[in-house]
Amino acid sequence: MANANAKIETKLQLKRTFAAKRERVFRAWTEPAELRQWFAPSDEYSIPIAEVDLRVGGKYRFGMKPPGSDVPYVAFGTYREVRVPEKLVFTWSWENPDSDVGETLITVEFRDLGGSTDVTFTHELFPDEKSRDDHNKGWSGCLDRLAKIL
Amino acid sequence: MVNYPSRSLDSTFAALADPTRRAILARLARGPTSVTKLARPFDISLPAVSKHLRVLEHAGLIHREKEGRIHRCRFIAGPMKDAALWIERYRRFWEGQLEALAEYLEKSNKKEKP
């Protein structure tokens, strides 16, 4: 793989325009009733789990069940940033992976084009240890302060 | 396609979760070199670079050997190919999800029209 232009890719990014207003698209990503309508690899899947606690530090769970299976694939994570209706940042992990990359980081940005919306979707498969450590430090700091108040 | 056991997959991904290590790998993917030359563009000490190299070696991403007093490193392609496969797998998954979203929004637009 000796390659003059070698880059170590650790994330993927997709961009897509949706023919709907930004608030509508943002709701589709964040309201359980909406998510149950689309958040699965195909029409044959059912979406038995869609739990959302939409705030920084809040958790979500999405379960997608393939046809003919009793067991859903369940993804879960924590919201790191919630900026209605422009941006979502959340961690992403699978509850029962066979093998997997571990905790990853997703960013969804919504740009208003009037009647339609530009979405930029980024999945960082190998988020930097440092940002993970900083986040953990931030949280333990918050919890320490909270414990002192209570 | 060679299957790597999940323990080595974990150490590959841990190795990749550092921007300095990724930059080191990108340099080595262009061709083998000595540790001294490798360390030059980084604003960190040689021991710090060696520490990163140990992590990369432990993950099976590079091979280190001594030629007299020169320490050489070269890139090992296999584990990175697995990482690339994961990215492709997820890309296909999310392309599918965004397609499903587009169809759903279109369907519900039609319903809303009088």
Instruction: Please calculate the CA angle B22-B28-B30 and round it to the nearest 5 degrees.
Output: 115
* Contact state of A3 with B30 under an 8 Å Cβ cutoff: yes
CA-CA distance, A96 to A49, in Å (whole number)? 15
Annotate B7-28 with three-state secondary structure. Answer: HHHHHHHHHHCCHHHHHHHHHH
* Contact state of A25 with B105 under an 8 Å Cβ cutoff: yes
pTM, two decimal places? 0.77
Please say if the pLDDT value at position B13 is more than 90.
no
pLDDT interval class at A76 (50, 70, 90): very high
B4: nearest CA partner in chain A: A99
Chain segment B45-75, per-residue pLDDT in tens: 889 999 999 999 988 899 999 888 899 999 9
The residues in B 33-72 lying below 8 A from A, measured between CB atoms, are none
A147: Cβ–Cβ under 8 A, 6 or more apart, which residues?
Answer: none
Chain segment B35-50, per-residue pLDDT in tens: 989 888 888 888 999 9
B64: Cβ–Cβ under 8 A, 6 or more apart, which residues?
Answer: B35, B53, B57, B71, B72, B73
Q: How far is CA A17 from CA A12, A121, B44, B111, B113, in A?
A: 17, 11, 43, 20, 20
Say whether A90 sits in a helix, a strand or coil. Answer: strand
A18: nearest CA partner in chain B: B102
What secondary structure letter does DSSP report for B58? H
A139 close contact with B: CB closer than 8 A: no
